[in-house]
Structure 1
Amino acid sequence: MPPRSSRRAPEADFRTVEPAALMLLKGPEDYVATRALDRVRAVLKARHPDLEYTRFDAAEATRGELTTLASPSLFGEPRLIVAEDLAQMNEIFLEDMLRFLDEPADPEVTLVCRHSGGNRGKKLVDALSARGVVVDCSTVKSDNDKLDFVRQEFRAAQRVIHPDAARALVSAAGSTLSDLGSACQQLMRDVPAEITAEHVDKYFGGRVEASAFKVADATFAGRGESALRLYRHAIATGVSPVAVTAALAMKARQVAALVDHRGSQAELAQTLKLAPWQLKQAAEAARRWGPRQAAEAVEAVAQADAEVKGVSRTPEYAVEKAISRITDQLSQ
């Protein structure tokens, strides 16, 4: 291998990464790491049907285990070796790995190291980052990042998803990146045309997150009959009252914050942890609300939340009362 350097290797996209002698999957997002590893393995298997594939745990590595696995086999088959859990690596693995980096690279060996985060083994991670191909497996939390993930999934597949459909998909299936990625793949597999919001609603409109937020949107728009109908349908399809009160509480906080806000929209978006498109939606809902009405809505949601978590024997009815109490504010 070339001499050690302080440079950083360019990061590779997990969708298009190509196998290399030394690879680092860096970050806690297991879904991205799994996708990257699956691609590397598939590419190597296509090139070498006799590929040897081995996984071992860096936290339980034994002396010389890495060297043994990377040594030329009897018939010289190409090898893919995956060292897992570098975040908990033992001293034996650390010493063996640093020694391995100083040895000449075997062109038949692809070594993939998985580090989920933390300071354990920082010296090794820095060395791997400088000398190998790095795949960023950082956690995707914000809706903006999730939207970007959806766009890139469809762009990589040379497919089109409408902007409102992408936003709806994040709302409906964005609780984890695994769920979101699976939803993208299902839509691309089942819908041959451009993906619209109607497609997303058809496939994922019944998800807990989507159903609860639809109830909240209808409630704070003052559409009482529609909100109650959506709520009863949500309960009938398995959505818990707790999930609905959580969605109502989020909407109430947004409306209350926007009613009297006079400062920077960017600052408010950061405080509320909203993407710009979400802030725009919340602002449209807040236009019909005054400070007193917003305070009453917040109180109604707080009471419903307490009731569904044990105060009331009829939690479903407690949420209905809150919905009616909130929508009544816009009719006064």
Structure 2
Amino acid sequence: MTAPFATATLIQGPESLLAERAVRQLLEQATAAQPDATVSRVPASGLDRGTLAEITTGSLFSAATVVVIEQLAELPADLADDLLALAVEPGDDLALILVHEGGVKGKALLDRLRKANVGRIDAPAVKAWELPQFVSAEVRRRGGRIDRATAEVLVSAVGSDLRSVAAAVTQLLDDTEDATITPADVRRYFAGRAEVSGFAVADHCLDGNREAALDSLRWALETGVAPVLLTSAVASALRNLGKYLGARDDRLRDADLARRVGVPPWKLKDLARQSRGWNAPAVATAIQLAATADAQVKGAGGDAGFALEMLVLGVIDARGRARRP
């Protein structure tokens, strides 16, 4: 039997898009090697000893078996030894794929798999400053071309959700004649998306633009943006600003400063502009307001829209007090 049979592979990390791609690639390799293989995908929480034995054994129609066990952190504790034994010696007819979403739960089993030298594919979270690089790699993977500046424009327009970014790349490449993505292409397809996002509301708040912040907030709510995403975006922007204020005097290179703050390098210019209206106490006050509003939109208050308006006004007021001598 050819690879990936007689092997076990652990796919580990919180980024579900990357994990799914790894699973799909392994499945394609297995079914290409053995087209009649039996394929099973099961959540670890639903397994017992009998089910595990059943799905990892060949059927009447094919000896070859591919098993994907997802949500490995939820594996019943009494199955750890059985699963480890399969991973160490899967047999010539078995391709075993284990998916762990990251985190500390199930760490003991992960440590045992690592000590057993089970093959591993990482699916790490993509940091904000890495998104333009992800876009460039995604475009190349699909046979297209994009420059760094356009990749940054795309991230700014679409946001930080990796699935949304990947889908945007696919759409743009499908609709461009020479497989080259330009800033004009991004604007044509995604103009207006950022304006109704929580990040636009947050930017207007940090800029102190009351009218634009309230207009963006109302438009975001009218177009179905969840209130919790809006409070999250404002809180995230404030935390980034606070980190920037604390690190900007450390004489770091832009790349190092962006890494310290947790933003892509192109965002530093916005933070530098916004920071001129803020000081650390004002940021701390605004973060407290965001935490209060977040609790209110999650059920502590009766009117999420009102809570969000009060957040916008409160953040802008905190900025105004910071600017007073």
Normalising by structure 1, we get a TM-score of: 0.67
- The Cα of 1:126 is off from its aligned counterpart by 1.3
Q: Against the structure 1 CA distance between its residues 63 and 206, is the aligned structure 2 distance closer, same or farther, given a 3 Å change threshold?
A: same
1:114 aligns with 2:103: no
Partner Cα distance (1:31, 1:207) in 2: 22
70, 80, 86: which one aligns with 2:66: 80
Count of aligned positions = 308
- The Cα of 1:224 is off from its aligned counterpart by 8.3
RMSD, aligned CA:
4.5
Partner Cα distance (2:89, 2:212) in 1: 69
1:263 aligns with 2:255: no
- Per the alignment, residue 173 of structure 1 pairs with 158
Deviations 1:120-151 (A, max 9, x none): 413432145x133x2102233x2123333222
Q: Against the structure 1 CA distance between its residues 79 and 120, is the aligned structure 2 distance closer, same or farther, given a 3 Å change threshold?
A: same
Partner Cα distance (1:98, 1:245) in 2: 43
1:194 aligns with 2:183: no
SS of 1:112 mapped into structure 2: strand
Q: Against the structure 1 CA distance between its residues 314 and 46, is the aligned structure 2 distance closer, same or farther, given a 3 Å change threshold?
A: same
- The answer to which of 147-156 and 309-318 deviates more is 309-318
- Per the alignment, residue 99 of structure 1 pairs with 85
Deviations 1:246-300 (A, max 9, x none): 666766776685599533346754564323221133224556x587xx9889989
1:150 aligns with 2:150: no
- Per the alignment, residue 124 of structure 1 pairs with 112
Identity among equivalent pairs (%):
30
1:136 aligns with 2:125: no
Segments of 5+ residues of structure 2 without an aligned counterpart are none
Give the letter aligned to residue 118 of structure 2: R
Segments of 5+ residues of structure 1 without an aligned counterpart are 1-17
- Per the alignment, residue 182 of structure 1 pairs with 167
Partner Cα distance (2:30, 2:198) in 1: 44
SS of 1:183 mapped into structure 2: helix
Give the letter aligned to residue 145 of structure 2: V
Check conservation: 1:164, 1:196, Cα contact below 8 A: no
27, 40, 47: which one aligns with 2:26: 40
Partner Cα distance (2:289, 2:86) in 1: 62
SS of 1:49 mapped into structure 2: coil
Normalising by structure 2, we get a TM-score of: 0.69
Q: Against the structure 1 CA distance between its residues 149 and 19, is the aligned structure 2 distance closer, same or farther, given a 3 Å change threshold?
A: farther
Check conservation: 1:304, 1:322, Cα contact below 8 A: no
